[in-house]
């Protein structure tokens, strides 16, 4: 068990810089998820913590010890890979104990740890099988078993569930979370799947193009994204962005073709000028004609049962011409494509972002 | 591809049968000739066995030196096989997993040797085999070390390095041991091994050599077995090199032994004995193929990743 500190870490490959200064402190026992689109540097960051990539500048410390020059095997970490990376010619037991045997642990100790890990992961029946005789979920469990037996200071997960089918992914997600609660080990988990990120993390690190855009608890990030990028990345369907004009006192905005919308209690820090308004699909409701802030012409309706997604284009003077908008309506709502809908926006939940830099301004 | 057409079946079977006959005919004829009694017409064509096969085989076997020749061939073939596999595994490991200066140069140097089989480089190879220390002698001569040593010692010094590989197993095996083909085969195989495996081993605490021996080697067994079959036959069938490098009868290989039973101008042709010897010489490679054939096919198809 240990904390992990990343201090101003940079990474370059030749002239190309891919990580532009990331600093995060990960507390002992915390489950931190690094999320971002492919190519944002999240895996590189994790591999630097593991010691599989050199650190160009900055420090990484595990349990207070700077490990920049320490070999992966001496960092007291365990890693679970996306494709599991099981040794194909070894049995499950051999796979899990390989690292322990290299460390010259006593036979008894190895057997003890194996048995405990096998019980936790329900692998006891499979210990003599080869990886190719296992299903995807079982292989995933073996890969985790290999990490658990090491009893490491920190677990590193590199998109461990992306090779599994959807149902198994949900199941394994819960299992990993449960496991974390049992073991209480510091865990760093990389994923591009925002559902995994939201459900598993104690804290989220949202990465974009080599920097950590925002670090915080999942719901805090959801409710108060620090930038238009984070706002658009977290949440599904994605947040709607509309150009808007902020009034001089910063207390209200004019959306594209709407009247004045008072920003109750979350006015802009600076008044006047153009900004981007972010509105989550679930913060828009269909209303009576006279209360409407905006009108939308539905172009596509996706009934999901629990809720209904309506895609539409903002209507100007009865013609659908404006930017696209997605609306999430609770329950089953019968709407036909082509229908015009009067909409009301939840004024408490309008996010304002700087039109150029994308940073939050309310 | 599943082809149901009847005529297509017949065509493929026809082609197979013709091919099989073409391949088997010489072997069949060797057996026929080997079963002929002594003193049969040498230019007659026989189609049916003559009933003296085992007698001739026994004669061939009892002929002086055949056992020794078979043993020599065995040592040479096994040595070449083991040596080639060991060297090419290591060199493939080096060029696949390590980043060092002139890595690509090393790679291309190995590649170029593909174009230089033993037959092409036979004269320089022989010279080196005749005195394996000749290159060092050349360096000594070039640097005039003899004169320096003589000046230091105060009298004339003569340095002569000599280490002949002629008429030795080392000489038979060593010059044939480097193999670009096998290196490439293993390199190709190593490239299909996922990189994460190497990283997982690093985190598990395995150094490069441990990763090589504990993980890469066991994973390559099928390709090694497939290669072993090919290389054993290659080593067994060597003719020119053993012919050059061995002069003593107890160092010759069986292939040369077979060649020596061929009729010369002043001796009677004993084709039945020649063929019997040839059959005996063929048996060990056949045994190796039969023994390793399952691995051989598996290694070539390589369904297991």
Per residue, what are the HEC states of chain B? CCCCCHHHHHHHHHHHHHHHHHHHHHHHHHHHHHCCCCCCCCCCCCCCCCCCHHHHHHHHHHCCCHHHHHHHHHHHHHHHHHHHHHHHHHHHHHHHHCCCCCHHHHHHHHHHHCCCCCCCCHHHHHHHHHCCCHHHHHHHHHHCHHHHHHHHHCCCCCCCCCCCCCCCHHHHHHHHCCCHHHHHHHHHHHHHCCHHHHHHHHHHCCCHHHHHHHHHHHHCHHHHHHHHHHHHHHHHCCCHHHHHHCCCHHHCCHHHHHHHCCCCCCCCCCHHHHHHHHHHHHHHHHHHHHHHHHHHHHHHHCCCC
| Number of domains composing chain A | 2
Q: A348: domain CATH number?
A: 2.40.50.140
Domain holding A349, by residue range, is 237-354
CA distance B107 to chain A (A): 24
Residues A299 and A329 in one domain: yes
The answer to the question of residue A110 being in a domain is: yes
pLDDT per residue rounded down to tens, chain B (305 residues)? 555 678 888 899 999 999 999 999 988 888 888 888 876 666 667 777 777 788 888 888 887 788 888 999 999 999 999 999 999 999 999 988 888 888 888 888 888 877 777 788 888 888 888 888 888 888 888 888 877 888 888 787 777 878 888 888 888 888 888 878 888 889 988 998 888 899 999 998 888 899 999 999 998 888 888 889 889 999 999 888 888 888 888 888 888 888 887 777 666 667 888 888 888 889 999 998 888 888 777 766 654 44
Residues B217, B232: Cα–Cα separation, whole Å:
20
- Using CA atoms, how far residue A267 sits from A251, A264, A348, in Å, is 5, 7, 10
Residues A198 and A313 in one domain: no
First to last CA, chain A: 39
Check CB contact of A104 with chain B, cutoff 8 Å. no
Q: What angle do CA B23, B26, B32 make, to 5 degrees?
A: 135
Mapped onto helix, strand or coil, the DSSP state of residue A257 is coil
Q: Please provide the DSSP assignment of A286-317 as one string.
A: E--GGG-SEEEEEEEEEE-SSEEEEEEEEEET
Residues A243 and A295 in one domain: yes
Question: Which of B97, B190, B201, B203 to mutate against chain A (most A CBs within 10 Å)?
Answer: B203
Name the residue facing A87 among B202, B215, B304 (closest C-beta): B215
Check CB contact of A154 with chain B, cutoff 8 Å. no
Q: What per-residue string of b and e applies to A328-338 under the rule 16 or more CB within 10 Å gives b?
A: bbeeeeebeee
The answer to the question of residue A144 being in a domain is: yes
> What strand order describes the sheet that includes A16-26?
A16-26, A4-13, A57-62, A65-66
* DSSP 8-state symbol, A234: S
Q: Which residues of B touch A (CB under 8 A)?
A: 194, 196-197, 199-206, 210, 214-215, 218-219, 304-305
Residues A26 and A106 in one domain: yes
Residues A183 and A39 in one domain: yes
Check CB contact of A142 with chain B, cutoff 8 Å. no
Residues A203, B49: Cα–Cα separation, whole Å:
86
Residues B70 and B279: beta-carbon distance below 8 Å? no
Residue of A nearest to B205 (CA): A73
Distance of CA B68 to the CA centre of its chain: 18
Residue A356 backbone zone (phi > 0: left; psi -120 to 50: alpha; other: beta): alpha
Partner-chain contact A102 B199, CB within 8 Å: no
Question: Which of B200, B201, B217, B218 to mutate against chain A (most A CBs within 10 Å)?
Answer: B200
Mapped onto helix, strand or coil, the DSSP state of residue A207 is strand
Residues A2 and A63: beta-carbon distance below 8 Å? yes
Quick one: pLDDT at residue A316? 66
CA distance B127 to chain A (A): 45
B197 CB neighbours in chain A (<8 A) are: 85, 87
- What number is the average pLDDT over the span A22-32? 90
Residues A64 and A192 in one domain: yes
Mapped onto helix, strand or coil, the DSSP state of residue A206 is strand
Residues A196 and A260 in one domain: no
Residues A76 and A153: beta-carbon distance below 8 Å? yes
The answer to the question of residue A360 being in a domain is: no
Partner-chain contact B202 A72, CB within 8 Å: yes
Partner-chain contact B196 A99, CB within 8 Å: no
CA distance A149 to chain B (A): 11
Query: What mean pLDDT is reported for chain A?
Result: 86
Q: A68: domain CATH number?
A: 3.40.50.300
- Using CA atoms, how far residue B294 sits from B226, B230, B298, in Å, is 9, 14, 6
A85 CB neighbours in chain B (<8 A) are: 194, 196-197, 199-200
Residues A293, A316: Cα–Cα separation, whole Å:
12
Residues A270 and A347 in one domain: yes
- What number is the average pLDDT over the span A180-204? 89
The answer to the question of residue A359 being in a domain is: no
Residues B65, B162: Cα–Cα separation, whole Å:
30
B219 CB neighbours in chain A (<8 A) are: 87-89
The pLDDT of residue A30 is above 80? yes
Partner-chain contact A52 B197, CB within 8 Å: no
Residues A359, A353: Cα–Cα separation, whole Å:
5
Partner-chain contact B305 A88, CB within 8 Å: yes
Residues A32 and A205: beta-carbon distance below 8 Å? yes
Residues A306 and A322 in one domain: yes
* Boundary-marking domain end, from A179, A200, A232: A232
Residues A101 and A223 in one domain: yes
B210 CB neighbours in chain A (<8 A) are: 102
Name the residue facing A89 among B200, B210, B218 (closest C-beta): B218
Name the residue facing B203 among A72, A83, A87 (closest C-beta): A72
Tokens coding B233: 């036959």
The answer to the question of residue A72 being in a domain is: yes
Name the residue facing A99 among B194, B205, B215 (closest C-beta): B205
Residues A176, A31: Cα–Cα separation, whole Å:
10
Residues A173 and A227 in one domain: yes
Strands A31-35 and A186-191: parallel
- What number is the average pLDDT over the span A216-241? 89
Instruction: Specify which residues A80 forms β-bridges with.
Output: A157
Residues B188 and B226: beta-carbon distance below 8 Å? no
- What number is the average pLDDT over the span A327-332? 89
* Boundary-marking domain end, from A211, A232, A253: A232
pLDDT, one tens digit per residue, over A93-114 is: 999 999 888 888 888 988 988 8
CA distance A51 to chain B (A): 8
Name the one residue in this structure whose structure tokens are 């082809």: B3
Name the pLDDT band for A321 (thresholds 50, 70, 90). Answer: low
A:B CB pairs within 8 Å: 59
Residues A76 and A118: beta-carbon distance below 8 Å? no
* Boundary-marking domain end, from A210, A232, A254: A232
Closest CA to B270 of B288, B281, B283, B258: B258
The answer to the question of residue A159 being in a domain is: yes
Residue of B nearest to A103 (CA): B205
φ, ψ for residue B131, nearest 5 deg: -145, 100
Residue of A nearest to B196 (CA): A85
Residue of A nearest to B199 (CA): A52
Residue of B nearest to A143 (CA): B200
A99 CB neighbours in chain B (<8 A) are: 203-205
* DSSP 8-state symbol, A169: H
Q: Is the ipTM of this complex over 0.95?
A: no
The answer to the question of residue A361 being in a domain is: no
Residue of B nearest to A86 (CA): B197
Residues A76 and A214 in one domain: yes
The answer to the question of residue A102 being in a domain is: yes
Largest pairwise CA distance in chain B: 93
């Amino acid at each position: 068990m240990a904390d992990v500190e990343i201090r101003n870490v940079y990474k370059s490959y030749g002239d190309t810089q891919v990580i532009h200064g990331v600093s995060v402190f990960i507390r002992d026992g915390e489950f931190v998820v690094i999320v971002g689109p492919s190519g944002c540097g999240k895996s590189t960051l994790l591999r630097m913590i593991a010691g599989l990539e050199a650190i160009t500048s900055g420090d990484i410390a595990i349990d207070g010890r700077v490990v920049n020059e320490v070999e992966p095997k001496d960092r007291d970490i365990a890693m679970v890979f996306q494709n599991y990376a099981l040794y194909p010619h070894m049995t499950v037991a051999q796979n899990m104990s390989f690292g322990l045997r290299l460390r010259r642990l006593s036979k008894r100790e190895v057997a003890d740890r194996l048995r405990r890990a096998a019980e936790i992961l329900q692998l006891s029946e499979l210990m003599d099988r080869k990886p190719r005789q296992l299903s995807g979920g079982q292989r995933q469990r073996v890969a985790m078993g290999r990490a658990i037996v090491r009893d490491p200071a920190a677990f590193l997960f590199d998109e461990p569930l992306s090779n599994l089918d959807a149902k198994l992914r949900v199941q394994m997600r819960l299992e990993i979370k449960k496991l974390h609660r049992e073991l209480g080990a510091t865990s760093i988990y990389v994923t591009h799947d925002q559902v995994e990120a939201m459900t598993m993390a104690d804290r989220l690190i949202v990465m974009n193009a080599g920097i950590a855009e925002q670090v915080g608890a999942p719901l805090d990030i959801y409710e108060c994204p620090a930038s238009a990028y984070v706002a658009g990345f977290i949440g599904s369907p994605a947040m709607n962005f509309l150009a808007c004009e902020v009034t001089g006192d910063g207390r209200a905005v004019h959306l594209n073709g709407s009247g004045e919308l008072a920003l109750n209690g979350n006015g802009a820090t600076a008044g006047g000028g153009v900004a981007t308004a972010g509105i989550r699909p679930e913060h828009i409701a269909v209303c009576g004609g006279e209360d409407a802030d905006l009108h939308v012409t539905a172009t596509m309706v996706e009934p999901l049962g629990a809720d209904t997604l309506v895609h539409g284009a903002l209507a100007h003077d009865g013609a659908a011409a404006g930017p696209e908008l997605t609306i999430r309506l609770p329950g089953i709502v019968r709407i036909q494509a082509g229908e015009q809908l009067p909409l009301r926006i939840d004024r408490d939940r309008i996010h304002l972002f700087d039109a150029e830099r994308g940073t939050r301004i309310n | 591809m599943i082809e149901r057409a009847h005529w297509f079946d017949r065509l493929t079977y026809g082609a197979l049968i013709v091919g099989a006959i073409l391949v088997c005919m010489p072997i069949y004829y060797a057996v026929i000739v080997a079963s002929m009694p002594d003193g049969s017409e040498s230019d007659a064509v026989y189609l049916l066995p003559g009933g003296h096969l085992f007698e001739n085989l026994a004669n061939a076997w009892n002929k002086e030196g055949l056992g020794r020749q078979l043993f020599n061939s065995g040592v040479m073939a096994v040595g070449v096989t083991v040596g080639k596999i060991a060297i090419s595994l290591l060199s493939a490991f080096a060029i696949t997993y390590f980043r060092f200066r002139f890595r690509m140069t090393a790679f291309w140097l190995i590649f170029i040797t593909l174009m230089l089989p033993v037959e092409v480089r036979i004269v320089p190879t022989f010279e080196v085999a005749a005195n394996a220390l000749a290159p060092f002698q050349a360096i000594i001569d070039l640097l005039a070390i003899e004169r320096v040593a003589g000046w230091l010692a105060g009298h004339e010094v003569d340095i002569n390095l000599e280490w002949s590989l002629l008429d030795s197993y080392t000489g038979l095996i060593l010059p044939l041991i480097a193999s670009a083909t096998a290196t490439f085969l293993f390199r190709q195989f190593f490239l299909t091994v996922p990189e994460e495996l190497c990283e997982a081993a690093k985190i598990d605490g395995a150094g490069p050599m441990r990763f090589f021996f504990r993980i890469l080697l066991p994973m390559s067994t099928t390709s090694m077995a497939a290669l072993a079959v090919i290389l054993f036959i290659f080593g067994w069938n060597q003719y020119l090199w053993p012919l050059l490098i061995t002069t003593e009868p107890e160092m010759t290989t069986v292939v040369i032994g077979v060649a020596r039973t061929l009729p010369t101008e002043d001796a009677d042709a004993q084709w039945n004995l020649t063929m019997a010897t040839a059959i005996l010489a063929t048996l060990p490679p056949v045994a190796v193929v039969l023994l390793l054939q399952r691995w051989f096919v598996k290694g070539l198809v390589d369904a297991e990743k």
